[in-house]
Amino acid sequence: MAAPAMVALDAVLGEKIANPPMTGQAPALISIQKVSKTFLAVSGARIEALQQVSLEIPEGKFISLLGPSGCGKSTLLRIVAGLERATAGAVRIGGSEVTGPNAGVGMVFQRAVLFPWWTVLENVLLATRIQSLDARLMRSRAQELISLMGLGGFENSYPRELSGGMQQRAAIARALLHDPSVLLMDEPFGALDAMTRERMDVELQSLWEARRKTVIFVTHSIPEAVFLADRVVVFSQRPATIAGIVDVDLPRPRTIGMLDSAQLGDYTRACRELLGSASSSL
């Protein structure tokens, strides 16, 4: 297996990138240990998506995941969510091995995938139909999350009556209903226009400040990855290995103005270099 690329990050940030521990942090809530995944395609071809990926994520941290298209990011999220089995290696959440979907994990997909025949409130309450949760408590929690996501007054609207950003906010409220400790987000804002996306980034950041979930956030936007994260993990081309890691030491809470700051620019350059070296290592 190739060693993680060591680009001139020291020069850019004065930091080491070779899988540094998150110093002074709680022990890992999510422990991804040497996870590999090989798919058998319909044609019979073997597709190696992940190769011995190891990552330790402390509780309450926000991790962004960047990598070339098709490298294996969604595959890793699905394995952490228990929706896919690893071919080798293991994922542990809070010390327990992930062997299937877990109530402690919420997932937000690239498209909101709301049920069109259900209202916002009914969509947010989805988990109550799958898990035995206290219906009254969940209803008041759903209302609270709907307001928190700025959707107050739209409880009884149908998805077709909402904008793309509003639908995605409803999907986030849905993922938070059962108060999961882990939130997995797969390019949740990828389909939104640039202005809405920036607003959603700021909203997500405030939500994270308030709730401190442990988040893995997949994106193709380098500034978005940096803006949100404590740590950006950059994947190589498929089969994904960790090409490098950038720890982001920007103050919190982060404001929209920081998106244009020189400091954020330094981090995005560092990530871009890692992505560039990951893509050219074909």
Ligand X SMILES: Nc1ncnc2c1ncn2[C@@H]1O[C@H](COP(=O)(O)OP(=O)(O)OP(=O)(O)O)[C@@H](O)[C@H]1O
Residues at the site binding ligand X, with contacts judged by CB under 6 A:
39, 41, 47, 49, 67, 69-75, 238
Using CA of residue 239, residue 248, residue 102, residue 88, what is the dihedral sign?
A: positive
Rank residues 51 and 181 by Cβ distance to ligand X and give the closer one. 51
> Are the CB atoms for 151 and 169 separated by under 8 Å?
yes
Does position 181 interact with Mg ion (CB under 5 A)? The reply is no
3-state secondary structure of 236: coil
CA distance 107 to 12: 34
CA distance 193 to 265: 21
The residue number whose beta carbon is nearest to Mg ion equals: 74
Q: Which does 70 bind (CB under 5 to 8 A by kind): ligand X, Mg ion, none?
A: ligand X
CA distance 3 to 242: 9
Does position 221 interact with Mg ion (CB under 5 A)? The reply is no
Q: Which does 254 bind (CB under 5 to 8 A by kind): ligand X, Mg ion, none?
A: none
Buried b (16+ CB within 10 A) or exposed e, 80-107: bbbbbebbebebebeeeebeeebeebbb
> Whole-number minimum distance, CB 233 to ligand X, in Å?
12
Q: Which two tokens stand for residue 35?
A: 């996870």
Q: Which does 23 bind (CB under 5 to 8 A by kind): Mg ion, ligand X, none?
A: none
CA distance 281 to 167: 38
- For the chain, helix (H) and strand (E) counts, in that order, are 9, 10
Q: Which does 69 bind (CB under 5 to 8 A by kind): ligand X, Mg ion, none?
A: ligand X
> Whole-number minimum distance, CB 41 to ligand X, in Å?
5
Q: Which does 280 bind (CB under 5 to 8 A by kind): ligand X, Mg ion, none?
A: none
> Whole-number minimum distance, CB 48 to ligand X, in Å?
8
> Whole-number minimum distance, CB 174 to Mg ion, in Å?
20
Tell me, residue by residue from 56 to 75, as one string, x for binding to Mg ion by CB under 5 A and - for no binding.
------------------x-
> Whole-number minimum distance, CB 70 to ligand X, in Å?
4
Residues that bind Mg ion (CB under 5 A): 74
